[in-house]
Amino acid sequence: MITVRDIHKSFGKVHAVRGVSFNAPDGKITGLLGPNGAGKSTTLRVLYTVLKPDGGSADIDGADVVTDSLAAREKIGALPHGAGLYPHLTARENIAYFARLCGLDKAEVDDRVDQIVKLLEIGEFAERRTKGFSQGQRTKVSLARALVHNPQNILLDEPSNGLDVMATRSLREIILKLKDDGRCVLFSSHVMQEVAALCDDICIIAHGRVAIDDSIDGIRERTGCDDIEDAFVKAIHMVGPE
């Protein structure tokens, strides 16, 4: 369960996030939807604690991301935007490295890596060094790395970027599996169709503010648009640049 309360973040003169609030409950998929530069990545970066908000607060299962950031990190698995792997390590070694850093002991590491390799269907290329992996293979390994310690809350920043249809589909299946497991999944995207197909709740962000936070039907109703793309565009125009 992720709670975000009125967070602000500026980079120099750029006020990237200006008061974003939302809830991402367990057992549901929450989508952060917005055009490029809307503040989605910044919001997620605050949640996985690599950025400190200038104002407001956020917590992960009750652990504040600023004052108790280590505990907050224990409860999340994050897939940052454009996450990279260590090219000289095999896929399995990449995953196991993160598992060990998460505090799993040796036997647990082997067990969990085996499970996650099976779950994400990585087996075929698990023993190969990740140098030269395709985008889809890289995303799968990065996702496995984020999930290896069995986190309750999962943050995915534009996970489907650069994936082909097959890879996107298998990613979608994984996300649905996580939801059925009772996890809290928060993921960002700029593709309305993708979000609509997956998410229970959608939080549309534009110009660093929340335009609408509702279910897909709720959004259709409030924008008066049946077509999801039209609804998205209309929602974005609900908040001005200032």
Partner 1 sequence: MRTLLTVFLKEVLDNFRDRRTLGSALLMGPIFGPVLFAFVINLSIERSLDDAETTLELPVIGQEYAPNLVAFLYSQNIDAIDGPADTAAAMDAVKTGEHDVVLVIPEAFGEQLAGMVPARIELVSDQANSDADRDARRVRNSLYAYNQTLAGTRVVARGINPRALQPLIVDEIDVSTPSGRSAMLLGMMSYFFVFAALMGGMYLAIDTTAGERERGSLEPLLSLPVTRDQLIFGKIAATCLFMTLSLMLSLTAFYFSLNFMPLEQLGMTPNFGPGVVLAALAIFLPFILVGAALMTLVASFTKSYREAQTWLSVVLIAPTMPILIVSILTLRPRTEFMFIPSLSQHLLLVDMVKNEPINGLHVAISVISTLVIGIVLTWVCARLYRREGLLG
* Contact call for residue 142 and partner 1 (CB under 8 A): yes
* 87: contact with partner 1 by CB under 8 A: yes
For position 14 contacting partner 1 by CB under 8 A, the verdict is: no
Q: How many CB atoms lie within 10 A of CB 202?
A: 27
Only one of the segments 142-150, 170-178, 216-224, 234-242 lies at the binding site for partner 1 (rule: CB under 8 A); that segment is 142-150
Stretch that binds partner 1, among 14-22, 43-51, 120-128, 185-193 (CB under 8 A): 43-51
Query: Regarding beta strands 153-157 and 184-189, do their DSSP bridges make them parallel or antiparallel, or are they unpaired?
Result: parallel
- Let me know how long the chain is: 242
Q: Which of 52, 118, 128, 237 binds partner 1 (CB under 8 A)?
A: 52
Q: Which CB, 105 or 217, lies closer to partner 1? A: 105
Q: CA nearest 38: which of 16, 64, 63, 21?
A: 16
18 forms part of the interface with partner 1 (CB under 8 A): no
What is the DSSP code string of 199-238?
-SEEEEEETTEEEEEE-HHHHHHHHT-SSHHHHHHHHHTT
Query: Least distance in Å: CB of 121 to partner 1?
Result: 21
> Distance of alpha carbon 102 from its chain centroid, rounded?
18
Query: Using CB under 8 A, which of the segments 66-74, 166-174, 203-211, 212-220 binds partner 1?
Result: 66-74
